[in-house]
Chain A
Amino acid sequence: MESWPKARPAVRKKIAIFILIGWALLIIGDRVDELRVYQGAQVAMYTIALASIVLLTGYSGQVSLGNGAMMAVGGYGAALTLNNLGTPIWFAFLMAIVTASLFGALLGAAAARVSGPYLAGTTLALAVGLPAIANQFAFLGGEPGLFFDVGFPPERFGDEFTQYKWFFWIACFIALIALFITSNILSSRFGRTWKAIRGNSLAAELCGVHSSRMKVLAFTVSSGLAGLAGAVLAMTISLVAPGAYGLALSFALVTGAVLAGISSLPGVVLGALILVFIPEISVALADRLGDADKLNNYLPGLIVSVLLILSVIFTPNGPGENLRKHLHKKPAH
């Protein structure tokens, strides 16, 4: 309890920073055109999704190759809630977290409990089989999926206020809250315990940490975050369908997280920006190179994979670490 009064100013500072960022985002949202606003909403969505990877992989040291599938779980959870119960939007997003966490807890109890590559393989299997599962259950809407409509922006914002700007507002608001909570979790007892398990699980257990339980917990929290991101994604495309949450999305998430430093929470913003602009770069490249059909289908995947491979080989712990190493070396010379 002694550390509590000390911790409070730090939290207060964090709140101030987050409010400042939110205010800046509001101003930026007013200044840029429709496409950028839409991309802004996507960046916010990826930020949440990447935070789920940072928490899981960067902190607890486990790999999920199917967080895209967990996003789908969240998306379906939110859509079913909104369509069948007619609840307010915020409740649908809450249900996205609840559904995905429950699902993650079940999956984690099987796969995250045992060490080794089991979680990676199980989540990959889930991502591969997602279309088959969505087609199996009629209430999930099969290939075309389910509608997810959060409705028009409130009238008091005026006629100028577009639908995409409304998405942008909601996405940014959710992302800020999610990041705030995640950053607090990561700097809490849980974050430190996860780091300890990642570093040396035997030593952590000797200190009284129940390592398999903590790993399942990490996967559960990470799934909840991914589910929330999945609902935000569903909002921006007004749809939940298996195609939107394919393997490519899971791969992209891992890439984004590795690119920005797998254990750096602020880095997720950079990772999200890169992920949003890769399709744009690839379209520009495809236009220049011709044969647009083939290129459009496979160029984004090629860029993502090459970036992933290069970054995992040369900056496995993120560009930040290399920079720090570089700076530390200099005085020695």
Chain B
Amino acid sequence: MQKVIETLLIGLSTGSIYALMSLALVLVWRSTRVVNFAQAGQAMLSTYIGFEIASRSEIFWLGLVFAIAAGALVGAGVDYFFMRVLFKHATSGPAAVVAPVIATLGLLGLIRSIVGLTWGGEFKSIEAPASTDGFSVGDGTIPFSDLDVLIIATVSIILITVAYIFQRTNLGLALRASAYAPEIAQLAGIRTARTRTIGWSIAGAVGGVAGMLVTSNNFLSPYSLDLLLVFGFIAAVIGGLESMVGSVIGALVLGIGLTFILNYVGTSLVFIGGFSVLILVLLIKPDGIMAKGKARRA
């Protein structure tokens, strides 16, 4: 019984990090109709900047703040300097539909090589902001630690902030409107292009937090966030790609499920488990758990 509870708790902590990545993917998908595979690259660049600050100042939270800022800047920059140009050029012909996705792939490769050239390929680690020793329960300890509590708390704060922005502010209304019906939003006086850039920067900031949190109990390398991207994508697909709430729920479910596989079956099956979930969702409920019977767009 104790093992079940500790697996649930660890799963919650893992899943909450996936939630940030899948939220970032969903934010961009809703506004731009592109699954931004460069999200992993953007998060990686922000995390390296956060790592640099955190290891120099020896304050994790200062690193996190810088990672958020860097994520927001990079996100906005990618949309402003890159996606806008792309949508202006690739408008017709056989490549028009696929150009944005391919471009995000190129961007992921570009950021990866820039990071590799700057910081090298060796593993870096950030000192965790809290103890990674497990809590003691009865006469043993469980692997759930202070750090996991901190991760869950940080993610909750970020999620509440994003939810507040989207539900309670004018900016959030504009973001939702331009994602839902860009032309009508434009007629209503919303500057949709600028709103979209803001959406990208929110996604970038959220991705930066995800990168920092993953790295707080793991290593950082130019490839270390690829798996986070994949699991974030799977979580977003579980949620139906459209729904922010769905993506968070999907991520928590995926995190808990994968931790159960990890604890009860073994490390080696974690990826295969996640991949099978993706295939099963696509086969059984491709619209995701939050679908309300409306037709798929795009």
Contact = CB atoms under 8 A, between A and B. Distances in A.
Interface of A: 57-59, 61-63, 65, 107, 109-111, 113-118, 120-122, 124-126, 128-129, 132-133, 135-136, 195, 198, 247, 251, 254-255, 258, 262-263, 294-295, 297-299, 301-302, 304-306, 308-309, 312-314, 316-318, 321
B275 A61 contact: no
A291 to B, nearest CB: 9
Interface residues of B, number: 55
Contact of B271 (A109, A129, A198, A308): A129
B226 A247 contact: yes
Nearest to A309: B106
Nearest to A132: B271
Contact of B113 (A111, A121, A298, A312): A298
Given A110-B279, A294-B116, A308-B106, A317 B95 contact: yes
B237 A262 contact: no
A308 B93 contact: no
A65 B105 contact: yes
Interface string B90-114: 1001111111011101111110111
A135 B268 contact: yes
A3 B293 CA distance: 45
B287 to A, nearest CB: 9
A248 B20 CA distance: 26
B101 A117 contact: yes
A302 B282 contact: no
B179 to A, nearest CB: 16
Contacts of A251: 105-106, 109
Contacts of A129: 227, 230, 271-272, 274-275
Interface in B222-244: 222, 226-227, 229-230, 233-234, 237, 241
A313 B103 contact: yes
Contact of B283 (A109, A295, A297): A109
Contact of A63 (B101, B113, B233, B298): B101
- Most central of A62, A125, A135, A198 by chain B CB within 10 Å: A125
Contacts of B98: 57, 61-63, 262
B105 A302 contact: no
Given A263-B94, A312-B99, A317-B94, A305 B113 contact: yes
Interface in B56-75: none
Contacts of B234: 125
B298 A111 contact: no
Interface in B94-140: 94-99, 101-103, 105-110, 112-114, 116-117, 120-121
Interface string B174-218: 000000000000000000000000000000000000000000000
A198 B106 CA distance: 22
A251 B106 CA distance: 8
A58 B29 CA distance: 23
Contacts of B99: 312, 316
B85 interface: yes
Contacts of A124: 37, 229-230, 233
B291 to A, nearest CB: 12
Given A110-B279, A254-B102, A306-B110, A295 B268 contact: no
A258 B269 CA distance: 35
- Most central of A63, A110, A117, A299 by chain B CB within 10 Å: A117
A115 B99 CA distance: 16
B94 A198 contact: yes
A136 B103 CA distance: 32
A58 B94 contact: yes
Nearest to B116: A298
Given A129-B230, A198-B97, 20 more contacts: A57-B98, A62-B98, A110-B282, A113-B282, A113-B286, A116-B241, A118-B286, A120-B35, A122-B278, A125-B234, A251-B105, A254-B105, A294-B116, A298-B121, A298-B222, A299-B113, A301-B116, A304-B109, A305-B106, A312-B106
A198 to B, nearest CB: 6
B275 A126 contact: yes
A121 B89 contact: no
A198 B279 CA distance: 24
Nearest to A136: B268
A319 B98 CA distance: 17
A105 to B, nearest CB: 13
B86 interface: yes
Contacts of A126: 275
